[in-house]
Structure 1
Amino acid sequence: MVKMRDVAKLANVSVATVSRVLHNPETVKEATRNKVLSVIDEVNYKPNMLARQFRRNETNIILVVVPSIINTVFSGIIEGIEYEAASHGYRVLLGNTNRKVENEYNLVDLLKKRQTDGMILLSERMDPNYIKSLSEEYPLVLATAYIEGLKVPSVSIDNVSSSREAVEHLISLGHREIAHITGPLQFAISKGRYSGYRQALMQNNIEVRNMLVQEGDFTFESGYNQMLKLMAIEKTPTAIFAANDEMAMGAVKAAKELGLDVPKDIAVVGFDNITFSSKFDPAITTVAQPLFEMGQKSMKLLLQQIQGKPILKSQYILECELLVRDSCGGKIKEKVMNEEIST
C-alpha cells in the first residue's frame, strides 16, 4: 500500500508538505502543490480518510501518554503542557500506561478514531518505526527523549553533556572511584546518561570499571538495591552518580543503613531535580531539567502541526543546570575554601 512518505519521496518534498497539500493546500506554492497532486494521481495514493477529516472534526483535546503519573518529572512536564494547551482552548487527556508498552499501543486508538487532535509521547517504549509512521499521519511530538535517526518532532535535553558535567563535578571533588546506577539501558535517556558518565571518566584518565555500573529502573527501590550491590564489591566506590533522583535517594537510604555518612563517607548525585530532592536529608545534588518549559515547547510544536503550519526545526534541546547541594559534599568544600580565603 502506498503511504504518504512514498508520495513525498517521489515528489522530492517533505512528508509535512504532502500533508499540507491534502489538508491546507492554500499554504503550499502552486507549483509544489501541482507536483504533489500529480504524484498522488500517478501512484493512486489513497489518503487515510480519518486523517483527511481530522482538521474538520477537531475535539480540542490532546492526548499525553505518560509512563507513570507517580513520577513527578512527568507531572512537571504535564504542567507546562496544560498551561499552553489551556491558553489555546485545548484540554489534556492523560493516558497513564503504568510503564507497559501494550497500554501505549492501545491509547493510540484514541488518535486514530479522532477522539483526540494530537498526541504528546512522554515515553520511548513503542517501536521507533511505528512512532515515525504515526507522525506521518497524525500530529505527534516526542518529549523527554530524542531517538537518534528518528525524524519526529521532539523536545528533550542533552543527557550526555548534563551527565558528564555531574560526574566531572564529583571528579573535581577528588573522587576517582565513581559508580553509576543507570536507568533501563534499552532507553535512549539511560544510554545518554551512561555515555556522559563514561565520557567524564575517560576524559580524566579514570578507568571505567564494569563492576561500578549497575542497572536500575528509575525507582527508589532499585537505587536502594543497586547501592547494596555496589557496597558489597571488594573495592567500593567513593561516589555515586544515579540516573535519577529517586534512585539517588534509594542509594542514600542504603548507605545510611550500612552505617555510612553521606557525603562524608560517600557522595551521591542524582538527576531531574524532583520537588522532594531539595527536602531530602541530605539535600540531593542533581541536574535540573526545565520541565515546565519542555511541556510548553512540546505543546507549541503539536499546535503547529494541528494548525497545518510547517515545522521548520524538528529537534529542540533545552538547557539543564547542575544544582550543588549537600549529598555530594560540594557545599562542604565550598565552605572550607571560603573559610581559608577569609583567614
Structure 2
Amino acid sequence: MMTIKDIAGLAGVTPMTVSNVLRNRGRVGELTRQRVMEVVEAHGYRPNLTARALVERRAPTLALMLGCITNPFYPEFTLQANNAARRHGRFLLVCNTDYEPDSGTRFMADVAGSLSDGILVANTGELRVEELKAIQASGTPVVVSVWEFPDEPPEGIPCVAFDSRKAGRIATEHLLELGHTRIGALVASAKKGIHGGRYQGYCDAMRAAKVKHVLADAHFGEDSYQGGYDAAIALLTTRPDLTALFVSNDLPALGVLNAAASLGRSVPGDLSVVSITNIELTGQSRPALTTVSIPTAEMAEASVDLLIRLIGQPGAHVPMVMTSDPVLIRRASTAPLQASPAPSRSR
C-alpha cells in the first residue's frame, strides 16, 4: 500500500509537505503543490484516516444527530453542515434517530471521543439536556443547532438559534396585510412544543392587529405531509369560513395545499396559505408556497464553526449564537382577500 512517505520520495519533498498539500494548509509553492498532486493522482493515493487520527490524537469526523432524514429540512441542513465540516478538514458522521431519543443516546455514547471529536445536535424538540451535559463532561463538546427559543437557551449547552417567534409574526402579518382576518393556525407540534415559538408569533400578530383568535381555529399535530393534510381537512371542514391558514412548517403546508384541492378550495383564490422554513420544495409546489425563510445555511455553518472552536478551546463559554432574522418569501399561495365574503359562522 502506498504511504505518504512513498509519495514524498517520488515527489522529492518531505512527508510534511505532502500532508500540507493534501490538507490545503501551510505555505507550499504552486509548482511544488502541482508536483505532489501529479504523483498522488498517478498512484491513486488515499490518506489513511485512522493513522492520521492516531498521529494527531484527534478523530477526523464531527457527528451530526438529526431527527428524520426523510424530512426535507434535514438533508438541506446536513448538506450545509457537511460543506462547513469539509472546510475544516473534517468528515461528517450522520445519525438519523427517527425521532427516537434512545437511538440518539446510543449514538452519542458510541461516537463521543472515539469516532468523533464533537457532536452537533439538530434540535427536534426532544432534547435530553442532562445526557448532553454528561457527554460534555466526558470531554466531547456538544452544540445544539436550530434552537427555536432564544429567550430560553438550553441550560449549560452551547446552541445556535434563530427567532422563531419573529418568523411566526412575519408570516401572520403578511396574511393580515392582505386583508385576511379569519386566519386559522396549523401547528406541527404540541402548543408548547418545538413550534410553540412560531405559534406565539402568530398570536402576537393577531393580538397587535386586534383580531380575535380562538383555539377552535388552531390545530396542533404532526410535523409531516400527512399530518398537514389531515389537520387541514379537519380544520377547514369544521371552520369553512377561514380564508387563510398559518402553517408552522413547510412540509405540513405542502399537505395543506393537497387538502385544499381535495375540498374544492382553490389556493390562493379561496384560501391563502403561508408557512415557515423555505425548504427547496416550496418553490416547486403548485402553487409555489409563500413562506418565511429561516437561516438554515447560516445555522449549519455557525454550528460547525462553533463546534470546531469548542474542540480547540475546551471549556470556552459560548451560551448561544444568534443568526439572521427570518425573511418573508412571497410566492403564489397567498393573495388579497376576495371581495365576496366566505360564509359566516357563530363563535
- TM (normalized to structure 2)? 0.75
Q: Distance in 1 between matches of 2:197 and 2:293?
A: 16
Q: Distance in 1 between matches of 2:81 and 2:285?
A: 27
Deviation at residue 265 of structure 1 after TM alignment: 0.4
Residue by residue over 1:51-78, the C-alpha shift from the partner in whole angstroms, topping out at 9 and shown as x without a partner, is: xxx9973111111001111222122221
Show the counterpart of 1:41.
none
Task: Tell me which amino acid in the other structure corresponds to 2:143.
Answer: V
Show the counterpart of 1:145.
147
Show the counterpart of 2:106.
106
Instruction: Work out whether 1:329 is the aligned partner of 2:335.
Output: yes
Contact map agreement 2:153 2:320 (CA 8 A) in 1: no
Show the counterpart of 1:77.
77
Task: Tell me which amino acid in the other structure corresponds to 1:257.
Answer: S
Contact map agreement 2:180 2:337 (CA 8 A) in 1: no
Structure 2, gaps ≥5 residues long? 1-53, 340-347
Change (3 A) 1:204 1:332: closer
Deviation at residue 248 of structure 1 after TM alignment: 0.9
Q: Secondary structure at the match of 1:262?
A: coil
Show the counterpart of 1:68.
68
Contact map agreement 2:167 2:276 (CA 8 A) in 1: no
316-325 vs 233-242, greater mean Cα deviation: 233-242
Change (3 A) 1:331 1:75: farther
Show the counterpart of 2:133.
132
Deviation at residue 146 of structure 1 after TM alignment: 4.5
Task: Tell me which amino acid in the other structure corresponds to 1:129.
Answer: E
Q: Distance in 2 between matches of 1:229 and 1:56?
A: 58
Change (3 A) 1:274 1:162: same
Matches within 5 A, 1:20-59: 57-59=57-59
Task: Tell me which amino acid in the other structure corresponds to 1:130.
Answer: E
Deviation at residue 188 of structure 1 after TM alignment: 5.0
Contact map agreement 1:144 1:155 (CA 8 A) in 2: yes
Show the counterpart of 1:307.
312
Q: Distance in 2 between matches of 1:125 and 1:87?
A: 30
187-196 vs 130-139, greater mean Cα deviation: 130-139
Show the counterpart of 1:115.
115
- TM (normalized to structure 1)? 0.76
Task: Tell me which amino acid in the other structure corresponds to 1:206.
Answer: V
Q: Secondary structure at the match of 2:201?
A: helix
Change (3 A) 1:281 1:300: same
Instruction: Work out whether 1:167 is the aligned partner of 2:172.
Output: yes
Task: Return the index of the structure with the highest Cα Rg.
Answer: 2
Show the counterpart of 2:50.
none
Q: Distance in 2 between matches of 1:330 and 1:154?
A: 39
Q: Distance in 1 between matches of 2:256 and 2:318?
A: 39
Q: Distance in 2 between matches of 1:89 and 1:243?
A: 36
Q: Distance in 1 between matches of 2:308 and 2:275?
A: 33
Q: Secondary structure at the match of 1:189?
A: coil
Q: Distance in 1 between matches of 2:261 and 2:187?
A: 21
Consecutive aligned runs of 4 or more in structure 1 exceeding 6 Å deviation: none
Q: Secondary structure at the match of 2:321?
A: strand
CA RMSD of aligned residues (A): 2.4
Q: Distance in 1 between matches of 2:329 and 2:191?
A: 27
Contact map agreement 2:243 2:337 (CA 8 A) in 1: no
Residue by residue over 1:7-36, the C-alpha shift from the partner in whole angstroms, topping out at 9 and shown as x without a partner, is: xxxxxxxxxxxxxxxxxxxxxxxxxxxxxx
Q: Distance in 2 between matches of 1:280 and 1:174?
A: 24
Q: Secondary structure at the match of 1:254?
A: helix
Residue by residue over 1:229-288, the C-alpha shift from the partner in whole angstroms, topping out at 9 and shown as x without a partner, is: 111215531100111111111111111111111001010011111111111100000011
Show the counterpart of 1:48.
none
Q: Distance in 2 between matches of 1:149 and 1:291?
A: 18
Residue by residue over 1:120-148, the C-alpha shift from the partner in whole angstroms, topping out at 9 and shown as x without a partner, is: 00123132333334334421110011452
Higher helix proportion (structure 1 or 2): 1
Instruction: Work out whether 1:204 is the aligned partner of 2:206.
Output: no
Structure 1, gaps ≥5 residues long? 1-53, 334-343
Percent identity, aligned pairs only, is 25
Show the counterpart of 1:21.
none
Q: Secondary structure at the match of 1:240?
A: strand
